[in-house]
Amino acid sequence: MGIATFLTRTKGSADRADRIGAADILAYGYLVLGVLIILVPVLWTFVSSLKDERAIDSFDTRILPMTQVEADVPGQGVKPVWTYTAPDGSERDVVKAGPTRAETEVVALDDPETVLTVPRTSLEANEEIRVATENYLDPILKRNGQTNFTFLTYLFNSVFVTVMATLITLVINAMAAFALSKYRFRGRLTFTILIIATLLIPSSIILVSLFFVVWSFGIFGSLWGVIIPAAATPTGVFLLRQYMLTIPDELLEAARMDAASEWRIFWRIVMPLSLPALSVLAILSVIWRWNDFLWPLIVLISDPSKHTLQIGLTTFSGEFDSNFNYILAMTVVSLVPITLVFVWLQRFITTGIATTGLK
Amino acid sequence: MSVAALASLLIGVLWIGGGTVWLLTRRRYRLAQVPNFLMDLVGFPVELAQSLFGRTGVPYALLLPNMLIFGFFTFLPMILNFYVSFTGGSSIQLFDRPWVGAANYAAIFDCETYFSPKTCSNEGYDFWTGMFNTLWFVVVQVPILCVVALATALVVNKNIVGRGFWRAMFFYPVMLSPVVIANIWNWVLHRKGALNAALGSSADAMSAMAGMTGFDLVASVVFAILLMAASERAMRASDKPSVAWTAVFGLLFWAVFAWANPLAILGLPGSTWAGLALAGLLVWFVSTAHPKARWAIVAASVLSILLLLTVQFDAVFDFGRVRPVNWLVTPNTGWPFFWLVFVFCWSHMGFYMLILLAGLQAIPKDLYEAAKMDATSPARAFFRITLPLVTPTLTVVLVLSLIRSFQIFDEVWLLTGGGPGRETFMIVQNIYETAFTGDRPEYGEAAAGSVLMAVVIAVFTFFQLFITRRQSEF
């Protein structure tokens, strides 16, 4: 191997610290693979959602949203335009006047009276780049018969569930965490263990009886049936408890000296001081509630006016198995808010989950 | 008006009305202090508890709302599950349901052979199909998920350019809702979708290239150079071979071994797996820093050059006409199951990666510095420092991913709907369909299924904790 070493030797000593080694090559290879697998499908969905219906139906795999030009030809109606290349090399814009065969009848745009018969292979679609905004606007503005996807209702329901559930979660979890971190009382260990125990109960095994409970409470079929059962989260309690343990007791004692009530201490001192942990929990809660699927599906499915965005999108995709252009556009619409939240608050989210290690 | 609505109305009136009176008689608020008053009103039960029982009453009042919700919506259903599983009928009035004893369980266990769901009654067929599919899914999914998450965490823990971006990118799918994920992958995996188009065009390009004259010779030379470069790099380091380069060499070796198909001479199938095993063996042998590791690489290089001479590259790279696969629909191919595992990994890996990343960053840096002082190879450092110290975190990840994989529903429901046939029919889907779809909901049977599922999850979790013998950090 001496010769090979000689041939592949580079300038400088062999063990320079910043030399790119095999480990780095493997790592970067892995990252490229990650881009291919993670970002490309999402971006492909986005790019596809900008294409018009015909391109989507024919599974056009070009990246740019190419749309065939249409023209209103007298006597033919609105038809897609093709470019006819004559044997002598000249090109004319034509529309098809009959069914597509080996020899197709076409009429030229500049001379709609004469019917030409040309070989199919000499016709090429006349395309332009056009962003198909109708994919987005039709379901939202209920045009072109797209009345089933009541986007604003779904959006309102999703936002309502997310905001209310997050507010309730923040307040009651912070209260519980405050009690567990700053008071010594009988049964503290019991309560802690009870809260841990809920962490180990998977939500899908209590599905059926949770349905009975929610039904008996009379909140089945309403948005509150989605909000309340999930409002108390063990994750939130632990996240906040760990944080509140770092708040010095002296602050609380000083406030007690000034005759502040315990609730005021909680509200005016502990809550503002645990704002970092609260914001992490808020972000987590928003993600959970926004993406929640199985439980809303059970509770809300029967009443379309109560559907959240996720449920609405599911039924929408189920109804229009072929209308991929609308499905993709609405997928992008429901993907955008969470992506924006993520891009803005990415650092909070990642550190928040990494420190709690829970979901 | 239901009792619950009446009760909540009563509580609301007491809370707001009583609280207002109580607060206003005890405290003075100026007009600018209306927000203060409102938040005092929110905490009125706590204030009341303090005035009634002193400070000892406060923590109980603070815990009350959380524990009420846990009690009613987690613990009560947990107990009710048992009750419901012993009742029949389709009434949703809890006390209207006839007690049927263990009939629901009997229906599920009504099988001739438990390992073949086809011999069961209808209920048993659904349940056991779902159970076996889920178990199989978990057994395949959890190791893959953990290995991929650990590998990703190791990569993004390195000192690479744009580290924050890469971490965010790998985490991003966790943020997406199952519906969005399903729609994206439905679109990509469609029979005429982007994946088939990309596979088809690259196969065509390969075939066209392989059809050119002299391709065999050129490809052989290229692979020979790659193999030699990788093995030389692997052995260049002063005394111990580099594991990372050995891994690169191993990948090339695997490819050559699979193409040359030497086991076919003996009339045996499975050259691909044998090649993978040999390559893995080589990497493992080198990573143990055995004194003979260098000779193993030399032997593998000689073997791979010999194999390379027998490979007909124009045949290997000629894919002919590639038929597009209907990934999510074609039965008896295993593809729908594969894509479920893939999509589940895709959408959940980032979360476990973050946990493992936190675990990796908690490892003291001086350990690695000490290892570097002793000229420890990176592989040895990984097996002797990183892996033992990250094991507690890995245990947490194992348990969490196990519980999560067991509950897989959203992705299956939206991507394959349990099909084709019942190939990807999972246990939660069985529970959901039994209880909530169909004309006659069978709540009792679904509850019995949930109880059995809970038992299986509990057994698995404890088994796993027992094997790893470490308490998770709760």
Mean pLDDT, chain B, integer: 83
Of A200-214, B25-39, B218-232, B260-274, which range is least confident?
A: B260-274
Above 50 in pLDDT, residue B216? yes
- pTM of the model as a whole: 0.82
CA–CA–CA angle A57, A59, A61 (5° rounding): 145
- Band (pLDDT 50/70/90 cuts) for residue A172 is very high
B110 by Cβ neighbours in 10 Å (0-12 / 13-18 / 19+) ranks as middle
Q: Answer whether A173's CB lies under 8 Å from A281's CB.
A: yes
| pLDDT score at B474 | 38
The pLDDT of B10-14, averaged and rounded, is: 89
Locate the domains of chain A by residue range: 70-125, 148-356
Q: Which class is B130-190+332-468 in CATH? A: mainly alpha
Above 90 in pLDDT, residue A55? no
Above 70 in pLDDT, residue B71? yes
d(CA B66, CA A177): 10
Taking Cα atoms as reference points, which of A339, A317, A341, A318 lies closest to residue A328? A317
- The contacts of residue A143 (CB under 8 Å, 6+ apart) are A134, A137
Contacts of B185 in chain A (CB under 8 A): 41
The pLDDT of B148-177, averaged and rounded, is: 87
Contact B80 A212 (CB under 8 A): yes
Taking Cα atoms as reference points, which of A270, A278, A185 lies closest to residue A239? A278
- Dihedral over alpha carbons B238, B243, B245, B247 (to 10 degrees): 160
Above 90 in pLDDT, residue A161? yes
| pLDDT score at A352 | 64
Contact B183 A38 (CB under 8 A): no
Above 80 in pLDDT, residue B465? no
Q: Answer whether B434's CB lies under 8 Å from B107's CB.
A: no
Above 80 in pLDDT, residue A18? no
Task: Please give the residue that has the higher pLDDT: either B268 or B426.
Answer: B426
- Band (pLDDT 50/70/90 cuts) for residue A160 is very high
Contacts of B358 in chain A (CB under 8 A): 354-355, 357
| pLDDT score at B243 | 78
| pLDDT score at A98 | 74
The pLDDT of B147-156, averaged and rounded, is: 92
For B280-296, how does the pLDDT look when each residue is reduced to its tens digit (9 = 90+)? Answer: 888 888 877 777 778 88
SS3 content of chain B, % helix, strand, coil (to 5): 75, 0, 25
Above 90 in pLDDT, residue B150? yes
Q: Which of residues 89-108 of A touch B (CB under 8 A)?
A: none
Contacts of A181 in chain B (CB under 8 A): none
> Percent of chain B having pLDDT more than 70?
95
Q: Which of residues 275-314 of A touch B (CB under 8 A)?
A: 287, 290-291, 293-294, 298, 310, 313-314
- Among B9, B27, B70, B442, most A C-beta atoms within 10 A, so best to mutate, is B70
> Percent of chain A having pLDDT more than 70?
89
Measured in angstroms, the CA of A81 and the nearest CA of chain B are apart by: 25
What contacts 24+ positions apart, CB below 8 Å, involve A42-47?
A42/A335, A42/B172, A42/B176, A42/B184, A44/B187, A44/B188, A44/B194, A45/A328, A45/A331, A45/A332, A45/A335, A45/B183, A45/B184, A45/B187, A45/B188, A46/A332
Above 60 in pLDDT, residue A69? yes
Above 80 in pLDDT, residue A86? no
d(CA B466, CA A228): 36
Q: Which helix (H) or strand (E) holds A78?
A: strand A77-85
CA–centroid distance for B440 within its chain: 34
Contacts of B178 in chain A (CB under 8 A): 291, 293, 310
Question: Tokens 């039994």 belong to which residue?
Answer: B434
Single-letter amino acid code for the residue at B161: V
The pLDDT of B33-42, averaged and rounded, is: 84
Helix (H/G/I), strand (E/B), else coil: A125? strand
**Which one is the CATH code of A70-125: 3.10.290, 3.30.1490, 2.30.30, 3.90.1150?**
2.30.30
> ipTM surpassing 0.90, yes or no?
no
Please state which CATH number belongs to domain A148-356.
Answer: 1.10.3720.10
Contacts of B197 in chain A (CB under 8 A): 59, 61
Does A36 reach chain B within 8 Å, measured CB to CB? no
End-to-end CA distance of chain A: 53
- The contacts of residue B414 (CB under 8 Å, 6+ apart) are A314, A317, B178, B179, B181, B182, B183, B186
Contact B351 A214 (CB under 8 A): no
Q: Answer whether A315's CB lies under 8 Å from A307's CB.
A: yes
Can you spell out the DSSP letters for B388-412? HHHHHHHHHHHHHHHHHHHT--HHH
For B295-311, how does the pLDDT look when each residue is reduced to its tens digit (9 = 90+)? Answer: 888 888 888 888 888 77
Which phi and psi (to 5°) does residue A78 adopt? Answer: -80, 120
Above 70 in pLDDT, residue A319? no
Which residue in chain A has the smallest CA separation from B443? A208
- Among A205, A314, A340, A343, most B C-beta atoms within 10 A, so best to mutate, is A205
Q: Which of residues 183-222 of A touch B (CB under 8 A)?
A: 183, 185, 188, 191, 194-196, 198-219
Does A344 reach chain B within 8 Å, measured CB to CB? no
End-to-end CA distance of chain B: 43
- Band (pLDDT 50/70/90 cuts) for residue A3 is low
Above 80 in pLDDT, residue A10? no
Which residue in chain B has the smallest CA separation from A311? B179
| pLDDT score at A356 | 56
Token pair of B382 as six digits:
């990984």
CA atoms within 13 A on the CB side of B409: 20
Q: Answer whether B418's CB lies under 8 Å from B426's CB.
A: yes
The pLDDT of B63-68, averaged and rounded, is: 89
Locate the domains of chain B by residue range: 1-42, 130-190+332-468, 195-316
Contacts of A202 in chain B (CB under 8 A): 403, 406-407, 454, 457
d(CA B106, CA B87): 13
Above 60 in pLDDT, residue B252? yes
d(CA A104, CA A21): 61
Single-letter amino acid code for the residue at A28: Y
Token pair of A352 as six digits:
């928040």
The DSSP symbol for A242 reads: H
Task: Please give the residue that has the higher pLDDT: either A111 or A189.
Answer: A189
CA distance to A107, A177, A243, A349, A359, per residue, from A174 (Å) = 74, 5, 10, 19, 17
CA atoms within 13 A on the CB side of B239: 6
